[in-house]
């Protein structure tokens, strides 16, 4: 994955705030939002009442007071641990929010009036549409769009990247973010957000968790947990008359302990923490998700649509080879190709000079008196006119051939074959001519970014289809698509073609993700289920998307999908572990409840637990301590592995299913060994 901001799981400040939060969240009005843990809290209050009034429910005996007290303490600790897990997740977000808030404190703005005079005001008073002037060394007071000027902007306060970004009016690099610093020159900026609605405000609100709403999958899982809780409550309630019929009178505390052990308390206590941690994990990858739903949707992505230029390839085609036509030497072609590019400041032109110097060993070229002919969309070629009247040109094949024919020359017979060969390789052929003679072709190669082939292969393994969008012709597009390893491509692609491609996939019930940065990408970003806009892009693109990549790295979409998958896998894995736990706890408590009166139940006591009381308390203690032990896993997430759904299910069942059964057997037995001597003191 990309660079993730490394942060400690729990700092001293987070630990302190989480301990306080664990106690403040005990409020029943708050706990009712988590029905599973609310049942545990009701159990705690009931057992606490039984400590003082054991006869209230017919549970007599001094030794039962101690038993009730122990159960009450364990249930209280269970609730605290669940609240602590959620508070730790929230604490990490709030710590990050505090660092962001520092950039907003006491920020001033130089507002431009209608008569071009300046007024210094507080940044918090700026409104949408205000025009401000920001000079070198000053903070940009709010989100805006550059209307005049060109300057380097340090965005490290937001992105963590130290390299400044060039911002100018017009184009895709006109959007600026409040809290960033103008490093050089000056900018006139039109404010695009009202107070409290800036990008920085949204980030602060998001990482604090204040605006976090439960996602559809989270709601569905919560519904499942509530259903399981109700089922086990009914089971336990009906168990009491069944036990009476069998001649066993069960204490209320024992029934409460059984309920708490059987309902899915582990995942119930960690569910909120997993959701908050998922949002936090995306933020630490310098991606801001506008909602938890967006993060979760990443985990369900079926199709990914990516631009070719700048996403799959580096965007700048580089000279890879000089291919002369018949009758022309390679050295002659290299010599005139380099001369044609000496004053060409484009990346392609510079690469021609660099490759020529490497192949010929010649680096000194006379340029005095040369007249540079710039490339234009009309001529589709560039070059130089030498002092002696020689005209050197390089450009598209048809443009150069037409130019040569106008001078009275003709194209070589093997030229078309050379050009077609390069096009088939996915490259761009630049034909070079000297006056009315064509010398050959420069092969410009569109280079695939390192590691992308492997990453596309990983996505294919987990069943995600990749579609490349490019303005190239079908032949070139097919070659690049094959080299990159994408599943499909759209050649000669226009903005509306992207929307149609997204809609076509969505009509089949698929979840679609895409990246974009320009105004023309905004409709497609809004249409996609997961739209990631570049922070360097236009305001309209960022407003249309539901995620913003602060590093403006289009390939980050691959990481975001993996984070979304990791969120879903973590939730699924811990749910599997939690439910599997209940199976082991069943074998601990049920035999303990009946084996005194029904000796045959001893057969089910496969853990060989000492006494009924030690069995019940051991299961309860394990049920409590497993929650904090799983906090690191809930926060960091289960390690992501690119596997198909069926393989992932099998792996989870083996690791977290069998592990969830085995861990309680071992843990409960060890706790039983430790507490049996202590219980003897209480006469239990």
Q: Output the known binding site.
A: 344, 348, 375-382, 394, 517, 521
Residue 619 φ then ψ, to 5°:
-65, -40
Residues at the binding site for ATP are 344, 348, 375-382, 394
* Helix (H) or strand (E) segment spanning residue 433: strand 428-434
Contact 391/383 with Cβ under 8 angstroms?
yes
* Helix (H) or strand (E) segment spanning residue 398: helix 397-406
Q: What is the largest distance, in Å, between two alpha-carbon atoms of the chain?
A: 117
CA 640-292-459 angle, 5° bins: 35
**Which residues 6+ apart lie within 8 Å of 545 measured at CB?**
290, 516, 525, 526, 531, 532, 533
Closest C-alpha to 533, from 564, 502, 554: 554
CA quadruple 335, 338, 340, 343: dihedral sign: negative
What are 439's strand-pairing partners?
A: none
Tell me, letter by letter, the H, E, C secondary structure of 245-308. Answer: HCCCCCCHHHHHHHHHHHCCHHHHHHHHHHHHHHHHHHHHCCEEECCHHHHHHHHCCCEEEEEC
CA quadruple 427, 428, 429, 430: dihedral sign: negative
Distance from C-alpha of 576 to C-alpha of 243, rounded to nearest angstrom? 30
Contact 274/634 with Cβ under 8 angstroms?
yes
**Burial class of residue 391, CB neighbours in 10 A (0-12, 13-18, 19+):** middle
Residues at the binding site for Mg(2+) are 517, 521
Contact 614/608 with Cβ under 8 angstroms?
no
- Secondary structure letter of residue 407 according to DSSP: T
**Which residues 6+ apart lie within 8 Å of 491 measured at CB?**
470, 471, 472, 473, 474, 476, 477, 478
Contact 462/642 with Cβ under 8 angstroms?
yes
Contact 229/264 with Cβ under 8 angstroms?
yes
Distance from C-alpha of 269 to C-alpha of 80, rounded to nearest angstrom? 9
**Which residues 6+ apart lie within 8 Å of 501 measured at CB?**
305, 467, 469, 490
Residue 146 φ then ψ, to 5°:
-70, 125
287-289, strands of its sheet edge to edge: 287-289, 547-549, 530-534, 512-516, 303-307, 465-469, 488-490
- Catalytically active residues are 307
Residue ranges of alpha helices (H) inside 432-494 are: 452-461, 474-484
What are 428's strand-pairing partners?
A: 444
**Which residues 6+ apart lie within 8 Å of 288 measured at CB?**
199, 202, 203, 206, 282, 547, 548, 550
Contact 444/320 with Cβ under 8 angstroms?
yes
Please provide the size of the chain in residues.
684
Residue ranges of alpha helices (H) inside 300-406 are: 330-341, 347-360, 397-406
Closest C-alpha to 99, from 283, 290, 291, 316: 283
Contact 302/464 with Cβ under 8 angstroms?
yes
Distance from C-alpha of 241 to C-alpha of 259, rounded to nearest angstrom? 16
Closest C-alpha to 514, from 524, 500, 503, 504: 524
Pairing of strands 186-191, 144-148: antiparallel
């Amino acid at each position: 994955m990309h660079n993730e901001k490394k942060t400690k799981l729990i700092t001293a400040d987070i630990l302190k705030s989480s301990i306080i939060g664990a106690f403040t969240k005990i409020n029943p009005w708050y706990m009712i939002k988590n029905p599973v843990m609310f049942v545990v809290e009701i159990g705690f209050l009931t057992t606490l009442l039984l400590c003082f009034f054991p006869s209230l429910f017919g549970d007599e005996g001094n030794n039962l007071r101690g038993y009730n007290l122990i159960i009450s303490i364990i249930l209280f600790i269970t609730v605290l641990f669940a609240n602590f897990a959620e508070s730790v997740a929230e604490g990490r977000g709030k710590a990050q929010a505090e660092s962001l808030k520092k950039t907003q404190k006491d920020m001033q703005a130089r507002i431009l009036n209608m008569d071009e005079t300046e007024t210094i005001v507080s940044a918090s008073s700026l409104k949408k549409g205000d025009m401000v002037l920001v000079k070198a060394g000053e903070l940009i007071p709010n989100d805006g769009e550059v209307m005049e000027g060109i300057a380097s902007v340090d965005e490290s306060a937001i992105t963590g990247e130290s390299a400044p970004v060039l911002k100018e009016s017009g184009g895709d690099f006109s959007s600026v973010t409040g809290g960033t610093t103008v490093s050089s020159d000056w900018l006139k900026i039109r404010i695009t957000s009202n107070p409290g609605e800036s990008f920085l405000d949204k980030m602060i609100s998001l990482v604090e968790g204040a605006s976090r709403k439960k996602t559809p999958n989270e709601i569905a899982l919560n519904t499942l947990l509530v259903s399981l809780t109700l089922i086990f409550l009914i089971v336990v309630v009906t168990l009491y008359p069944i036990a009476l019929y069998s001649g066993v009178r069960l204490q209320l505390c024992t029934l409460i302990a059984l309920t708490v052990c059987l309902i899915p308390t582990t995942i119930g206590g960690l569910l909120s923490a997993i959701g908050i941690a998922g949002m936090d994990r995306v933020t630490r990858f310098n991606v801001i998700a506008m909602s938890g739903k967006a993060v979760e949707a990443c985990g369900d992505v079926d199709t990914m649509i990516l631009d070719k230029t700048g996403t799959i390839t580096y965007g700048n085609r580089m000279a890879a080879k000089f291919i002369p036509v018949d009758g022309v030497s390679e050295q002659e072609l290299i010599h005139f190709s380099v001369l044609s590019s000496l004053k060409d400041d484009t990346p392609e032109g510079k690469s021609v000079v660099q490759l020529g110097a490497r192949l010929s060993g010649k680096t000194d070229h006379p340029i005095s008196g040369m007249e540079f002919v710039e490339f234009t969309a009309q001529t589709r070629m560039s070059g130089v006119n030498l002092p002696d009247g020689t005209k050197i040109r390089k450009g598209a094949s048809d443009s150069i051939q037409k130019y040569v024919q106008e001078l009275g020359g003709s194209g070589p017979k093997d030229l078309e074959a050379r050009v077609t060969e390069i096009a088939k390789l996915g490259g761009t052929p630049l034909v070079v001519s000297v006056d009315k003679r064509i010398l050959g072709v420069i092969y410009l190669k569109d280079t695939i970014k390192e590691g992308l082939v492997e990453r596309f292969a990983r996505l294919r393994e987990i069943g995600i289809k990749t579609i490349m969008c490019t303005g190239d012709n079908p032949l070139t597009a097919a070659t690049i698509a094959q080299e990159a390893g994408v599943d499909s491509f759209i050649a000669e692609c226009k903005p509306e073609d992207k929307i149609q491609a997204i809609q076509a996939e969505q009509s089949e019930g698929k979840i679609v993700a895409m990246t974009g940065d320009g105004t023309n990408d905004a409709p497609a970003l809004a249409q996609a289920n997961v739209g990631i806009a570049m922070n360097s892009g236009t305001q309209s693109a960022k407003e249309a998307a539901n995620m913003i990549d602060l590093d403006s790295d289009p390939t980050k979409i691959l990481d975001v999908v993996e984070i979304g998958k990791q969120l879903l896998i973590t939730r699924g894995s811990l749910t599997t572990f939690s439910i599997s736990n209940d199976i082991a706890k069943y074998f601990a408590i049920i035999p303990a409840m009946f084996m005194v009166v029904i000796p045959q139940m001893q057969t089910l006591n496969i853990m060989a637990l000492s006494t009924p009381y030690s069995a019940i308390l051991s299961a309860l203690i394990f049920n409590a301590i497993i929650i904090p032990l799983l906090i690191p896993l809930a926060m960091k997430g289960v390690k992501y592995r690119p596997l198909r759904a069926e393989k992932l299910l099998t792996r989870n069942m083996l690791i977290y299913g069998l592990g969830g059964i085995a861990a309680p057997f071992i843990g409960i037995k060890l706790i039983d060994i430790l507490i049996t001597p202590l219980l003897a003191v209480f006469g239990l």
